[in-house]
Amino acid sequence: MAKGKDDKKTAFQLKVPKGTKDWEGKDMVIRDKIFGTITDVFKRHGAVTIDTPVFEMKEILAGKYGEDSKLIYDLADQGGELCSLRYDLTVPFARWLAMNSSVQSIKRYHIAKVYRRDQPAMTKGRMREFYQCDFDIAGTYDPMLPDAEILRITTEIFDALGWQGRYTIKINHRKILDGIFAVCGVPEDKIRTISSAVDKLDKSPWTEVRREMSEDKGLDPAVADKIGEYVNLRGGEDLLAKLQANETLAANESAKKGLDDMALLFNYLNVFKVMDKISFDMSLARGLDYYTGVIYEVVTEGSAPASAAGATPEAQRAQKKGKKAAADDDDRSNDPSVGVGSVAAGGRYDELVGMFSGKTQIPCVGISFGVERIFSITKARMEAEKTAAGVRLNEIDVFVMAFGGKGFTGLLPERMEVARTLWEAGIKAEFSWKVKPKLPQQFKQAETGGVPFAIILGEDELKDGKVKIKQMGLPEGHPEKDGVLIEKSNMVEEVKRRVAEFNATNEVAEKVGAVSI
Amino acid sequence: MAKGKDDKKTAFQLKVPKGTKDWEGKDMVIRDKIFGTITDVFKRHGAVTIDTPVFEMKEILAGKYGEDSKLIYDLADQGGELCSLRYDLTVPFARWLAMNSSVQSIKRYHIAKVYRRDQPAMTKGRMREFYQCDFDIAGTYDPMLPDAEILRITTEIFDALGWQGRYTIKINHRKILDGIFAVCGVPEDKIRTISSAVDKLDKSPWTEVRREMSEDKGLDPAVADKIGEYVNLRGGEDLLAKLQANETLAANESAKKGLDDMALLFNYLNVFKVMDKISFDMSLARGLDYYTGVIYEVVTEGSAPASAAGATPEAQRAQKKGKKAAADDDDRSNDPSVGVGSVAAGGRYDELVGMFSGKTQIPCVGISFGVERIFSITKARMEAEKTAAGVRLNEIDVFVMAFGGKGFTGLLPERMEVARTLWEAGIKAEFSWKVKPKLPQQFKQAETGGVPFAIILGEDELKDGKVKIKQMGLPEGHPEKDGVLIEKSNMVEEVKRRVAEFNATNEVAEKVGAVSI
């Protein structure tokens, strides 16, 4: 940048735009570990990533988001093409698939920022710039195999994050729902709107959903009651058997297809050891229109912000009093791609790519992880369990310091040479950028950074070809509390061995998973 | 996203905006390895990263880029704040420092996209959206220590990329240049413009730069000749000694200060073993106004695009004919933060943060790596050396397959179970998503992905508790060409051992560095 002549010193407010934030410090470290954990799992399953531009041609996004299109950020018309900031990662992926027709199959993940010109509510986590994390499998395969692997990946991710026993995957199938609506007598033209009403069952009681169906949407109350018999069901393979045994449902072609899919999927999920995390939940409907098969949502304790949990008595009372619309608006989290209270969601969408390619359909199944919500929950847990303090701000393993009595020179060239030797061996090391630093200053700098080891140089020791290595923070009385003299020529090996041992011991604590428990 | 009612199937052109691109396939893999290599070095030196929003308040960017401000992308005025896409990573960092006055020192790196509404020239690598990679050290330390460490980091990065012996760090000092201009008799108000002229010596011959000084900028030709005696000098410690011995120069306060800095820096660079990569080059001036101390630029063979190399006879002829302006425009690469022909550049800027904070100055020194140019050079070398073909598209280590004779069931549950076992052990594994895949299909899928190992299941072997492990692509005659039967109970250990051995053998080939040589 060139310093212009029209500089005005702080004639303006120093801030970031509304609804955006700087990621820094421990938040940045924790977030990076979460992203790294998730990415490792994707790679373990052969996924690749694609990086699309932050802005797309305006017309690519137009007409894709219904009413929410008003939330799209446009670039100013400065001549040339009209562009908009991406609103999600799904449309750019579908656009890419349509542009690259030679790609008939791909497993891709994409962790990146998306933009929504929404009213920000930072305390509720609703931002104008926020991260999405999408994983999608495109291509034609034998039925339910990619679907099963996505759910396996989902469990691997939450297990790796340390959430074992704390999350449930709710699962349902669009075709089963459609079949239920058909056999209950919902008119064809009301199926989508009734489906949206059902989708609210995670935060509204059935009485309220039933009222919406009959009063707001004009459904025959008798039909609503029939729906109620189905959509309040949940279970596992037992529920599937029950539905399969239901002759009315089995006679419906759509329901039959959906139940067959689920039977096959449950077989695969048993082999993948995923079934114990599954809740087959007939109330799960997912708001988005484009799903064509299995749909799922991951919920965890505390995944809904307290104020948004419709299950709280206050919220239920508010809803009963007809304050639903306002509550709905308040409930919107920063990532509408996952439902309220969920930390990941997705499903099969076999007809979306055709919107761009016109001709070729590429079947897809995917999941979006609400990474900012996962971050918030992880951080809140770490703070509650006081593990956040242990997060190291940088990755330095060794702080190189020096001490001496009267006439101490600072041993700067010696410290630099030791640091260089460590760097050459790939060891993460720092030293004080002072010519003559005091020993307490150096210790303080190392402690502030949470550096686990110090190499301490002294003139006499150096003459003997020795340096001292000291593990920081050892308790009083520990035999190595004051450090150990080692041969300088052996320093790299000693450091590597000790750092490896330290990391092995602290591996559990280093993982986001463990610190979040 | 919701499928709107106004969808128009392919009524628009499927493309990305001009000057932007999708990163995918091998390019994505190579780029990620380069970013990973660079990030590892930053972390080895204790750096942390900060993630700022893609757009900033418009007024934050205003007046920072001089004439180039016209290239800033604004967001449309849709009500509310006026925002612009970031133009570089330096202004957001300075803005962040000014907003976080409690941060008195930090080593931060940032690899992210920046935006310039420039005329794109894809073949020349000039894009509207492109990556920058900045590393900066802010804070008050003893002189030249952070500066020396930045140059050490620079060599570690290019060495890790496999560029040993292929790059040179040109170095100079603003205060020495200012001193030279002063003792040669350049009027105070002409110093910046004469400095810009000098900066062109990397692509224009001295005769042309001299002409520009005297004819275009009205400098006394005798003064220009005196400047010529200095700015065509280059060397190392010998040149420094020569300049220190120059009494005229040593009598100038600014030059003296710069020479003292350089002497101290060279001492440190000797300890850091960096001096052999250094060229003390008096023609290096760096265009940007805000540098206050040491300045540097990394050049490599082929770092200037052929068409941009002013050293070619055609270009020199064109320049002599006065076509300089046009040539200048053509020469602009995608990353003006590094000079033409350079792959990294930076320097000390002690007064920039004050533009935002108004009161507190925080001294800074930094470097920007031209990561897209580093990518292009790496890729071109890999293609020339035919190593690009060896880049694996994903990281899968094991492909789980099955075979059988008549009545072959496909062994799907068995393949799934083996894959699950491998995943549980953290091994990257895939299998065919077909119920009954043919063996050649499975081999083809593994080969296409460049997967190094196959686990092959057969019904008879499974009955005996055995599976076959086969390293792909072994030559005819190799004793393990057809694979080896191992105990299934021992599979994870066998796979881990073989993958580790394979990776150790191929480590060299896996590194971007090595593949680029």
* Beta-strand pair B453-458/B466-471: antiparallel
Question: What is the per-residue pLDDT for B192?
Answer: 85
Question: What is the per-residue pLDDT for B481?
Answer: 93
Q: pLDDT category, B504, cuts 50, 70, 90?
A: confident
Q: What beta strand segments (E) does B282-376 contain? A: 294-300, 342-349, 364-369
Average pLDDT over residues B123-143: 92
Check residues B333 and B441 and name the one with the higher pLDDT: B441
Task: Establish if B299 touches chain A: CB-CB under 8 angstroms.
Answer: no
Q: Which residues, including other chains, have CB under 8 Å from residue A229's CB and lie 6 or more apart? A: none
Question: What is the per-residue pLDDT for B7?
Answer: 43
Among chain B residues, CA nearest to A335: B1
Smallest Cα distance from B317 to chain A, Å: 30
Q: Is B327 exposed, middle or buried (0-12, 13-18, 19+ CB in 10 A)?
A: buried
Return the percentage of chain A with pLDDT > 90, whole number: 71
Tokens 């509650």 label which residue? A384
Q: Has residue B311 got a pLDDT over 50?
A: no
Average pLDDT over residues A76-83: 91
d(CA B85, CA B96): 16
Task: Establish if A102 touches chain B: CB-CB under 8 angstroms.
Answer: no
Q: How many CB pairs under 8 A join A and B?
A: 296
> In whole numbers, what is the pLDDT of chain B averaged over residues?
87
On whether B234 is known to bind a ligand per the annotation, the reply is no
Least confident of A20-24, A467-471, B109-113, B283-287: B283-287
Mutation choice for B interface testing from A10, A13, A14 by most B CBs within 10 A: A14
Closest Cα to residue B488, out of B436, B423, B421? B421
DSSP for B148-175?
A: HHHHHHHHHHHHHTT-TTSEEEEEEEHH
| Partner-chain contact A149 B113, CB within 8 Å | no
Q: Has residue B186 got a pLDDT over 50?
A: yes
Helix (H) or strand (E) holding B267: helix B253-271
| Partner-chain contact A73 B78, CB within 8 Å | yes
Partner B, chain A 403-432, Cβ-Cβ below 8 Å: 413, 416-417, 420, 423, 426-430
Question: What is the per-residue pLDDT for A511?
Answer: 52
In this structure, what token pair is assigned to residue B176? 């020495």
Check residues A57 and B120 and name the one with the higher pLDDT: A57
Q: Has residue A27 got a pLDDT over 80?
A: yes
* Beta-strand pair B48-49/A83-85: unpaired
d(CA B193, CA B106): 33
Question: What is the per-residue pLDDT for B67?
Answer: 77
Smallest Cα distance from B248 to chain A, Å: 31
Q: pLDDT category, A328, cuts 50, 70, 90?
A: very low
Average pLDDT over residues B154-180: 95
Give tens-digit pLDDT for A267-303.
999 999 999 999 999 999 986 678 999 999 999 875 4
Average pLDDT over residues A238-265: 97
Task: Establish if B3 touches chain A: CB-CB under 8 angstroms.
Answer: yes
Closest Cα to residue B161, out of B37, B272, B36? B37
C-alpha Rg value of chain B to the nearest Å: 29
Helix (H) or strand (E) holding A344: strand A342-349
Q: pLDDT category, A439, cuts 50, 70, 90?
A: very high
Question: What is the per-residue pLDDT for A9?
Answer: 46
Task: Establish if B358 touches chain A: CB-CB under 8 angstroms.
Answer: yes
Question: What is the per-residue pLDDT for B507?
Answer: 60
Q: pLDDT category, A315, cuts 50, 70, 90?
A: very low
Q: Considering CB atoms only, which of B15, B287, B358 is closest to A9? A: B358
Task: Establish if B328 touches chain A: CB-CB under 8 angstroms.
Answer: no
Partner A, chain B 362-401, Cβ-Cβ below 8 Å: 393-396
A350-373 as b/e, with b when 16 or more CB fall inside 10 Å? bebbbbbbeeeebbbbbbbbbbbb
Q: pLDDT category, B302, cuts 50, 70, 90?
A: low
On whether B90 is known to bind a ligand per the annotation, the reply is yes
d(CA B83, CA A129): 13
d(CA B55, CA B246): 50
Question: What is the per-residue pLDDT for B472?
Answer: 95
d(CA A4, CA A14): 18
Average pLDDT over residues B196-212: 91
ipTM of the complex: 0.87
Contact between B395 and B134 (Cβ < 8 Å): no
Average pLDDT over residues B95-121: 92
DSSP for A156-214?
A: HHHHHTT-TTSEEEEEEEHHHHHHHHHHHT--GGGHHHHHHHHHGGGTS-HHHHHHIII
Contact between A20 and B85 (Cβ < 8 Å): no
Q: Has residue B316 got a pLDDT over 60?
A: no
CB atoms within 10 A of CB B459: 15
Least confident of A239-243, B252-256, B321-325, B368-372: B321-325
Give tens-digit pLDDT for B340-364.
578 999 999 998 888 777 777 899 9
Task: Establish if B271 touches chain A: CB-CB under 8 angstroms.
Answer: yes
| B328-to-A244, B179, B203, B315 alpha-carbon distances in Å | 74, 28, 10, 10
Q: Has residue B517 got a pLDDT over 90?
A: no
Contact between B100 and A16 (Cβ < 8 Å): no
In this structure, what token pair is assigned to residue B315? 């270009």
Question: What is the per-residue pLDDT for B355?
Answer: 76
Degrees to nearest 5, angle at CA B224 with B221 and B229? 130
| Partner-chain contact A50 B22, CB within 8 Å | yes
Instruction: Say whether B328 sits in a helix, a strand or coil.
Output: helix
In this structure, what token pair is assigned to residue B310? 């002013």
Question: What is the per-residue pLDDT for A288?
Answer: 67
B-chain residues within 8 Å CB-CB of A88? 1
Question: What is the per-residue pLDDT for B4?
Answer: 41
Task: Establish if B46 touches chain A: CB-CB under 8 angstroms.
Answer: yes
B-chain residues within 8 Å CB-CB of A413? 267, 271
Q: Is B3 exposed, middle or buried (0-12, 13-18, 19+ CB in 10 A)?
A: middle
Question: What is the per-residue pLDDT for A312?
Answer: 36
Q: What is the pTM of this model?
A: 0.88
Q: Which of A35-44, A121-130, B90-99, B322-331 has the highest mean pLDDT?
A: A35-44
Least confident of A145-159, A477-491, B295-309: B295-309
Average pLDDT over residues B121-149: 92
Question: What is the per-residue pLDDT for A390?
Answer: 78
Q: pLDDT category, A451, cuts 50, 70, 90?
A: very high
Average pLDDT over residues B24-38: 95
Smallest Cα distance from B431 to chain A, Å: 10
On whether A116 is known to bind a ligand per the annotation, the reply is yes
Among chain A residues, CA nearest to B22: A52
Check residues A236 and B320 and name the one with the higher pLDDT: A236
Q: pLDDT category, B288, cuts 50, 70, 90?
A: low
Partner A, chain B 169-228, Cβ-Cβ below 8 Å: none
Q: pLDDT category, B6, cuts 50, 70, 90?
A: very low
User: Left (φ > 0), alpha (ψ -120 to 50) or beta: where does A334 sit?
Assistant: alpha
Give tens-digit pLDDT for B70-79.
999 999 998 8
Partner A, chain B 50-79, Cβ-Cβ below 8 Å: 50-57, 59-60, 63-69, 73-78
Contact between B156 and B44 (Cβ < 8 Å): yes
| Partner-chain contact A433 B355, CB within 8 Å | no
CB atoms within 10 A of CB B275: 18
Phi and psi at B434, nearest 5°, equal -125, 145
Give tens-digit pLDDT for B436-488.
999 999 999 999 889 999 999 999 999 999 999 999 999 999 999 999 999 99
CB atoms within 10 A of CB B493: 12
Average pLDDT over residues A164-183: 95
